[in-house]
Amino acid sequence: MKWVEIEIVTTEEASDAICEMLSQLGADGIAVCDPLEIKRIIDDPDSLAYADDGFVDSLGTDVTIHGYFAEFDDGIRLGAKEEEYENPEGVGTIYGNIATGSKTLEETIALLEERLAAISEFLPVGNGKVGYKYVKDEDWENEWKKDYHAFSVSENVIIAPSWERDTVSDASEEGKKVVYLDPGSAFGTGTHETTSMCAELIDEHLTTSDTVLDVGCGSGILSIIAAKLGAKEVEACDIDRMAVDVAITNCKENGVEVDCYTGELKDAKKEGYSLIIANIVAEIIAGIAPMIPEKLLPGGHFIASGIIDHKKEIALSACEAAGLRLLEEKQKGDWHAYYFEKK
């Protein structure tokens, strides 16, 4: 068996979608090198990160994503790692269906280029160049970890990989909550603007009496943040069974109680919530907007994110038509997050 490192050069806007696509194809590890995110971490006054003058500028502006795949005698094994995940209902409705079976390296590259073309229909993928190299069996596991370190995702929350648990554990003594989350597992590690804006809104507005529903929970990062900040109850759902299992594992690793299950907004278990979070895409937010007030308690709030600049009116119009009043807007780069209140 050999390890193939697939490299994709892209943009911040498309990085989360590409990471999810790689996960659906069965990548054993995913690493993201985002020069702008590195700069934000270094510029953060609470960060311990340091870089020599000129280092960040030397990285350019492109985001580089590395996906690691195992290559056997019959080719690269693609698809979910367990049979139960091969055809789960709903998987791939945004980024394409899960591929299964074995393919040659050339066929795998062609498939990746096809999936990138599909993503480019709704997100700017930039360069979009796909390359590869082989890495030693003993090196790949550490290779994909080198670009991911602890960082502040909001004023009171730090995201850290499990291998830095010992070095950042003291942060809780300073009043900050530490969420341990490893990249490459599934769907959201907090480095993207859409996730960080949601985290900031949760940090700013959550109360200990809140009952929270995280729709499209992905890795569970926002649910974990809500639970660690003291929410009364937290529920999380996603149409992707793989993402839900990852979220369950992440919640256990962080010692928080979150009810995670496969489903969508219509499958919510409670009659009403005081806070609903949806970090998805503009079209899906517009689609679920009419149901949001029905699921909110009187005076309840809705955080919507994952909304790229040129599609913000789609989400805003749908939410306002549904009877949601906009209280706050955040913008980072080309991405927007909104904080609504039920009228």
**Cβ pair 152, 46 in contact under 8 A:** yes
pLDDT digits 0-9 by tens, 80-129? 544 444 444 444 433 344 455 788 999 999 999 999 999 998 889 998 89
* pLDDT at site 188: 60
Q: Which of 51-60, 132-141, 298-307, 326-335 has the lowest mean pLDDT?
A: 51-60
Quote the CA–CA distance of 178 and 171 in Å, as a whole number.
7
Task: Quickly state the pLDDT bin for 38 (edges 50, 70, 90).
Answer: low
DSSP string, 138-157: TTHHHHTTTT---EEEETTE
**What burial class does residue 107 get, using C-beta atoms within 10 Å of its C-beta: 0-12 exposed, 13-18 middle, 19+ buried?**
middle
SS3 content of the chain, % helix, strand, coil (to 5): 35, 30, 35
pLDDT at 189: 62
Q: How far apart are CA 315 and CA 112, in angstroms?
A: 29
Q: How far apart are CA 146 and CA 33, in angstroms?
A: 9
Write the CB contacts of 39 (distance below 8 Å, at least 6 apart in sequence).
56
Percentage with pLDDT > 90 across the chain: 46
Considering only residues 140 and 200, tell me which one the structure prediction assigns the higher pLDDT.
200
Exposure on the CB side of residue 293, measured as CA atoms within 13 A: 13
Phi, psi of 190 (to 5 degrees): 95, -5
β-pairing, 63-72 with 2-10?
antiparallel
The pTM assigned to this predicted structure is: 0.67
Pairing verdict, β 233-238 and 211-215: parallel
Q: Measure the CA–CA gap between 176 and 171, rounded to whole angstroms.
A: 6
Phi then psi for 238, rounded to 5 degrees?
Answer: -155, 150
Return the pLDDT at 84. 43
135-144, 204-213, 239-248, 284-293: the lowest-pLDDT one: 135-144
Question: Which domains are present in the chain?
Answer: 2-143 (no CATH), 205-342 (3.40.50.150)
Between 304 and 54, whose confidence is greater? 304
Question: In angstroms, rounded to a whole number, what is the distance separating the alpha carbons of residues 57 and 66?
Answer: 20
How far apart are the C-alpha atoms of 305 and 312, rounded to whole Å? Answer: 10
> Rg of the chain over CA atoms, in angstroms?
20
